[in-house]
């Protein structure tokens, strides 16, 4: 039976007979024998395979076994004489599945720039860095499910196609089956969506929150974890047009409980990844960002700072550094401000609460001062906003008023308002940008490098 290379590296014993399948990373020919390193994606480290001339077709094999070739190797494990590894595989039978022409296969050099690797998005996962990124990404997702399942949250699946613009920012991708060469028009020359597939305009979701609220009003604690889409034309290292979001929603919960959950949640995910991906995390610390491990320990062991927006503005006004965006009460915090708080001032994650009503979405609960809402953003060093959430407005009249003042028609969200008409309860939730979490965890500078197939303005090739 084929063994995973990670299991062999951890547990394999001399004289054990094993079969592995994977891709050649390197080949070294010496006098009378050769080594290949084979990687199957299960771990950062590859398994060293020794080839002796007694192997059938030895000379032909050496010609075929170039970087990128796919192989199956059977043989016995032997203690390695090299210092790099404990154990290696002495090949007895070797089969090449597919060659990779060294003249053309782009992954020849040991190190390529991430910019270059983005141009070969179909191959970059075969490199050490991307192998580590996607194993850690998988561990983060596992940790997320584990965290919520252990606490009795129901995993719900919110729709990708929706009618609502939850965040109200108008960053929607339209979903249509209309013939774009011959768009039907109404008498007033508007697009006639009544002839469209859903009988009205429909979009890719920007957030599963509103539907998560529906489910929380039946199951108390729920979470949704899926792709979300935003047509925001920002070409930054922290924005994608398609990103994954984790959104828990809790009935009978206020902002305090929401903050407690967010903090426990991040601590859990960091703890899980440190425990399950030690080699990959070491790799990031050595090769990508030498503060990654210290940051993880810091997250796990220290309480996050909690501070109101109004207090933040006072601190920023006193800060002895000049910001591009001048600070005054009412300003939406920019990433320079967020990073100043998390990196310089507090040197740990900061939860900012009670933002001005004018800069936050309609569903956030209005405070008694009527100037601020029960919002919370978790700001992380190097990343800025990693989580956005709030206590929700559970009072029907206040919610209707908020919608009207933001130019929304309450009738369009009649079902959302019904949640306030029938059995309304205080409730709260948040959204974690999954890729920003993976960036934070790994130290990867660009969000395009923590998702296998990044979608950004003008780019959706692979």
Asked whether position 426 contacts ligand 4AD by CB under 6 A, the answer is no
Stretch that binds ligand 4AD, among 1-9, 124-132, 187-195, 239-247 (CB under 6 A): 239-247
CA distance 5 to 152: 35
Q: Give whichever of 230 and 402 is closer to ligand 4AD, judged by the CB atom.
A: 230
Q: Give whichever of 131 and 431 is closer to ligand 4AD, judged by the CB atom.
A: 431
As beta bridge partners, residue 38 has 24, 47
Asked whether position 372 contacts ligand 4AD by CB under 6 A, the answer is no
Asked whether position 387 contacts ligand 4AD by CB under 6 A, the answer is yes
What is the closest distance, in whole angstroms, from the C-beta atom of residue 246 to ligand 4AD in the complex? Answer: 9
CA distance 288 to 281: 10
- Return the structure tokens found at 226: 């899926």
CA distance 175 to 391: 30
Asked whether position 435 contacts ligand 4AD by CB under 6 A, the answer is yes
Q: Which of 145, 143, 432 is nearest to 276 (CA)?
A: 143
Stretch that binds Mg ion, among 101-109, 251-259, 352-360, 380-388 (CB under 5 A): 380-388
What is the closest distance, in whole angstroms, from the C-beta atom of residue 130 to ligand 4AD in the complex? Answer: 19
* 3-state secondary structure (DSSP) of residue 35: strand
- For every residue of 182-248, DSSP letters joined together read S--B-TTS-B-GGGSTTSS--EE-S-SHHHHHHHHHHHSEEEEEEEEE------STT--SEEEEEEE
What is the closest distance, in whole angstroms, from the C-beta atom of residue 345 to ligand 4AD in the complex? Answer: 20
Show the site string, 126-165: x = touches ligand 4AD by CB under 6 A, - = not: ----------------------------------------
Asked whether position 166 contacts ligand 4AD by CB under 6 A, the answer is yes
The one of ligand 4AD, Mg ion, none whose footprint includes residue 454, by CB under 5 to 8 A per kind, is none
Q: Which of 67, 209, 372, 442 binds ligand 4AD (CB under 6 A)?
A: 209
Say how far residue 120 (Cα) sits from the centre of its chain.
Answer: 20
Query: 34, exposed or middle or buried, with CB in 10 Å at 0-12, 13-18, 19+?
Result: buried
The one of Mg ion, ligand 4AD, none whose footprint includes residue 67, by CB under 5 to 8 A per kind, is none
Q: Which of 388, 433, 443, 454 binds Mg ion (CB under 5 A)?
A: 388
- Return the structure tokens found at 309: 């927006």
Asked whether position 22 contacts Mg ion by CB under 5 A, the answer is no
Q: Give whichever of 46 and 228 is closer to ligand 4AD, judged by the CB atom.
A: 228
Helical (H) or strand (E) element with 24: strand 17-30
Residues 6+ apart with CB under 8 A from 45: 5, 6, 9, 85, 279
Q: Which of 27, 135, 137, 239 binds ligand 4AD (CB under 6 A)?
A: 239
Q: Give whichever of 25 and 230 is closer to Mg ion, judged by the CB atom.
A: 230
The sheet with strand 350-356 has its strands ordered as 154-156, 221-229, 242-251, 427-433, 384-391, 372-380, 350-356, 305-308
User: What does the binding site for Mg ion look like in residue numbers (CB under 5 A)?
Assistant: 388
List contacts with ligand 4AD (CB under 6 A).
166-167, 207, 209, 230, 232, 239-240, 243, 245, 247, 385-389, 429-431, 433, 435-436
């Amino acid at each position: 039976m084929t063994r995973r290379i990670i299991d062999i590296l951890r547990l394999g014993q001399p004289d054990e007979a094993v079969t592995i399948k994977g891709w050649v990373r390197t080949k070294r020919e010496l006098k009378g024998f050769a080594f290949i390193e084979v990687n199957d994606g299960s771990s950062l480290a590859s398994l060293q395979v020794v080839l002796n001339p007694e192997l059938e077709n030895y000379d032909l094999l050496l010609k075929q076994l170039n970087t990128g070739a796919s192989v199956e190797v059977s043989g016995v494990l032997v203690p390695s004489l090299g210092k790099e590894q404990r154990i290696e595989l002495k090949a007895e039978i070797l089969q090449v599945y597919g060659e990779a022409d060294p003249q053309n296969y782009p992954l020849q050099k040991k190190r390529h720039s991430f910019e270059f690797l983005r141009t070969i998005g179909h191959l970059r996962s075969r490199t050490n860095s991307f192998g580590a990124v996607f194993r850690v990404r998988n561990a983060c997702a596992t940790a997320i499910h584990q965290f919520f399942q252990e606490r009795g949250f129901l995993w719900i699946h919110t729709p990708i196609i929706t009618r609502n613009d939850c965040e109200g920012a108008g960053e929607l991708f339209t979903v249509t089956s209309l013939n774009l060469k011959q768009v039907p028009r109404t008498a007033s020359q508007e697009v006639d969506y009544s002839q469209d597939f859903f009988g009205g305009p429909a979009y890719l979701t920007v957030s599963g929150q509103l539907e998560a609220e529906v489910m929380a009003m039946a199951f108390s604690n729920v979470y949704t974890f899926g792709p979300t889409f935003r047509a925001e034309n920002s070409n930054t290292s922290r924005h994608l047009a398609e990103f994954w979001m984790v959104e828990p929603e809790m009935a009978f919960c206020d902002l305090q409980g929401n903050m407690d959950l967010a903090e426990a949640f991040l601590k859990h995910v960091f703890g899980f990844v440190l425990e399950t991906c030690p080699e990959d995390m070491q790799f990031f610390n050595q090769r990508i960002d030498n503060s990654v491990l210290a940051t993880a320990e810091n997250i796990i062991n220290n309480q996050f700072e909690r501070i109101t927006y109004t207090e933040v503005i006072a601190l920023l006004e006193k800060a002895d550094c000049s910001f591009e965006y001048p600070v005054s009460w009412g300003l939406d915090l920019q990433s320079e401000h967020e990073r100043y708080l998390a990196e310089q001032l507090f040197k740990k994650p900061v939860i900012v609460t009670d933002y001005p009503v004018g800069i936050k979405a309609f569903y956030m609960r209005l405070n008694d001062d009527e100037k601020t809402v029960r919002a919370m953003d978790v700001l992380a060093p190097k990343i800025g906003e990693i989580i956005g959430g709030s206590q929700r407005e559970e009072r029907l009249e206040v919610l209707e008023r908020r919608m009207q003042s933001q130019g929304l028609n309450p009738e369009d969200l009649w079902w959302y308002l019904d949640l306030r008409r029938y059995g309304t309860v205080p409730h709260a939730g948040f959204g974690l940008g999954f890729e920003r979490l993976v960036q934070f965890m790994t130290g990867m500078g660009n969000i395009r490098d923590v998702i296998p197939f990044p979608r950004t303005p003008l780019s959706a090739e692979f």
